[in-house]
Amino acid sequence: MTTTQAPVAPAQQNTSTDITVEVVYRGIFQKTLAQRICRGVVLAARKSGHPGTAFARYGDSPERNGVPAKQFAVVAADDTQLEASMARYEPSVVDVTVAVDDTLVKGVESWAWYGRQPIWKPTKADGFVIVTSDKSPDEVLAQTDKAERPYTLAIVPGGASFAGLWVYKDDHTDWRVLGAIAKVAPEWLPLQQVKALVREQTKDETAVASVQFGHDATVFRPVAVGEGTSGHEVLQFEKPGWTTMRPGIVVDARKPGERNPFYKKYGARTQRPVVNFDTCIKCTMCWLDCPDECFEVTPTGHYEVVYEACIGCGICAQVCPVKDCIVMVDELKFDENQDKWQLWQKDRAAYNAWFEQKSGVSAEPKSKAAAAATGGDD
């Protein structure tokens, strides 16, 4: 947002020429939700006479299940101001970032890899990061990259929603988020106009009430520089020029058995598998069926998860024949990506305590009879 005087006076006092909102979401499942929010921003601002545009990040298409993706809404004082935001893939600076799944605060990484980025990376100084979450602002902040600029974290009550997906019952997440955006940017989105838009579109007073609820229930948490976690890996790379690039579109590949140190997939993860090595029967099913080859064989013949490669798809937990041996756990309960077998090897009691605390299930090996019943052989 630039600070030059707007040529057209908007509804409220407004000294900027444009506003950009980005919605960060889980690919495919939340696509319609993100689209509804972005379209809502543009259409509500239109009621004040402001032109706008909404678009999805081209590099995310076709979206992959669960992989972070972005859509944008840009509203400007007039058509001339809007042009500066047109014909772009992605705004480099936004006024408001919206994350519709709180695990996204651990970082955003699209499938067309640009490296894991902090959720606030494009958010301008003194801008807003709106997160839908059932957690407290401090819990969310504890998993967000350490701030380099001050911003305000805003929590809209609610979980990660599939609202708008054709198989999923609508839960008004889109309307609540629009209410929250009206709260952080009233000069562009006056609450009354958002409500008027939703009333027109839905003819449903409960939807209008959800706008009001999102507006009223959103909690602000000002974030100072340095607040947040430094636990997330920061990757940087240089883009070579045409004189320094290898010809023939050639890049180094990995040698057999080697993992690509630059290819991280954990941005796609909302849950992660944790393994009870004491009940593992070494059947190889997780290792065989993992679509991303995340499991490494340990010297004891167990299989440990390489968390940097895991997208949290849950197939290992599904194919594991032993009950509660692989448990999928909320990603926000973790602030690191260390492999865990060595801890178990060193101190089983400590590891099992960690396993129980994270997974909420007992680490106690079942009786022989119970193990035999599940086909296992402890």
Q: Which residues bind another protein (CB under 8 A)?
A: 59, 89, 112, 114, 239-242, 245-256
Distance from chain centroid for Cα 149: 20
Alpha-carbon dihedral of residues 69, 118, 275, 374, nearest 10 degrees? Answer: -20
At its nearest, how many Å lie between another protein and the CB of residue 61?
11
Nearest to 182 by CA among 200, 171, 195, 172: 195
**Could you tell me the two tokens for 207?**
């939807």
At its nearest, how many Å lie between another protein and the CB of residue 99?
24
At its nearest, how many Å lie between another protein and the CB of residue 223?
30
The structure tokens 């990506």 sit at 337
At its nearest, how many Å lie between another protein and the CB of residue 303?
25
**Residue 257 vs 291, nearer CB to another protein:** 257
Looking at residue 111, the DSSP 8-state letter turns out to be S
Q: Residue 305 in 3-state DSSP?
A: strand
Enclosing H/E stretch for 354: helix 348-359
**Residue 246 vs 346, nearer CB to another protein:** 246
**Residue 135 vs 265, nearer CB to another protein:** 265
**Residue 117 vs 359, nearer CB to another protein:** 117
At its nearest, how many Å lie between another protein and the CB of residue 243?
8
**Residue 247 vs 301, nearer CB to another protein:** 247
Tell me the C-alpha distance between 269 and 237, whole Å. 23
Tell me the C-alpha distance between 218 and 80, whole Å. 33
At its nearest, how many Å lie between another protein and the CB of residue 264?
16
* Span between the terminal Cα atoms of the chain, in Å: 62
Helices 173-184, 205-217: axis angle to 10 degrees equals 50
Burial of 293 (0-12, 13-18, 19+ CB in 10 A): exposed
At its nearest, how many Å lie between another protein and the CB of residue 85?
17
**Residue 68 vs 190, nearer CB to another protein:** 68
**Residue 252 vs 336, nearer CB to another protein:** 252
CA angle 197/199/201 to nearest 5° reads: 70
Distance from chain centroid for Cα 93: 18
